[in-house]
Amino acid sequence: MTEAVRYLIDGLVLAALLAMTAAIMGLWRLRGFYNRLHANGLTLWLGLLPLLVAALLSGDTVIVTKSFLLLLCLLMTTPVSSHALARAAGSRLREPDDPHPGAADDGSGRAV
Amino acid sequence: MHTPVFYVAVVWLSVLLGMAILQVLHHRDALDAVLAVDASALVLIAVLLVQTVWSGSSHYLDPALVVALLSFVETVAVAALLTRGGLFR
């Protein structure tokens, strides 16, 4: 592994750390369930994808195969689980014409 | 990956994992708890990926795959329980 690739992996890992920090802070600070759901989606795309690319850069056949499998698995399952959570939040709204169903409608950030 | 970056990444991800687990304990709603469990599973996968890149060993990727699938099943199951009128209408 050349030195340039090692620095590239360093950069990818640090970028992933930054994105995951933003996502977890979003889970803590954001008001409204849909906003927090969006922060959780950020964890995958900006947090795990750089790490998976860093694993792919290692060049080892087994690691490349398994991380590609993990990438494929996450790519298929995470949108489904986010969709299920959003539907669960949407089915619990109080007003049919609420513009932000389930999102901070009593001002406390509760998902109804 | 260089050694300082590895240590910074592991310590930082451990702090994030602790914050996600605290979010599970301090949830405002059942859906928020599910969301925080999902987020903590993703952070755990990130820890395992950093270990993979650092050690060059593929053994850490198997538990990562298992954690990903378990968190998916858990999230969909609890969301189906919490959806009024059923999830698969």
Q: Among the residues of A1-104, which ranges form H helices?
A: 3-29, 33-42, 49-56, 61-90
CA A71-A74-A79 angle, 5° bins = 135
* C-alpha dist (Å) from residue B45 to B41, B54, B86: 6, 14, 30
Is residue B69 a part of any domain in this protein? yes
Is residue A54 a part of any domain in this protein? yes
pLDDT of residue A58: 82
Is residue A73 a part of any domain in this protein? yes
Burial A28-50 (b: 16+ CB within 10 A, else e): eebebbbbbbebbebbbebbbbb
B33 Cβ contact partners less than 8 Å away, ≥ 6 residues apart: B24, B27
Full domain range(s) for residue B73:
3-82
pLDDT of residue B22: 93
The per-residue pLDDT for range A8-64, each reduced to its tens digit, is: 999 999 999 999 999 999 988 888 888 899 988 888 788 899 999 999 988 789 999
Is residue B37 a part of any domain in this protein? yes
Cβ contact, residue pair A85, B34, below 8 Å:
yes
Cβ contact, residue pair A27, B64, below 8 Å:
no
Q: Please give, rounded to a whole number of angstroms, the shortest distance from the CA of B11 to a CA of chain A.
A: 11
The per-residue pLDDT for range A58-109, each reduced to its tens digit, is: 878 999 999 999 999 999 999 999 999 988 888 876 544 445 544 444 444 4
Is residue B89 a part of any domain in this protein? no
Is residue B11 a part of any domain in this protein? yes
Full domain range(s) for residue A32:
3-90
pLDDT of residue A33: 86
The per-residue pLDDT for range B12-67, each reduced to its tens digit, is: 999 999 999 999 998 878 888 999 999 999 999 999 999 999 998 889 999 999 99
Residue B29: its chain A contacts at CB < 8 A?
Answer: 33, 110-112
Residue A70: its chain B contacts at CB < 8 A?
Answer: 45, 61, 64-65, 68
pLDDT of residue A93: 62
Is residue B87 a part of any domain in this protein? no
Residue A16: its chain B contacts at CB < 8 A?
Answer: 46
pLDDT of residue A60: 85
Q: Does A74 touch chain B (CB under 8 A)?
A: yes
Q: Does B24 touch chain A (CB under 8 A)?
A: no
Q: How many domains does chain A have?
A: 1
Q: Does A28 touch chain B (CB under 8 A)?
A: yes
Q: How many domains does chain B have?
A: 1
Residues 46-65 of B with CB under 8 A from A: 46, 49-50, 52-53, 56, 58, 61-62, 64-65
Is residue A110 a part of any domain in this protein? no
Q: Tell me, what's the ipTM?
A: 0.86
Residue B10 above 70 pLDDT? yes
In this structure, the dihedral spanned by the alpha carbons of residues A40, B13, B57 and B37, taken in order and rounded to 10 degrees, is: -40
pLDDT of residue B19: 93
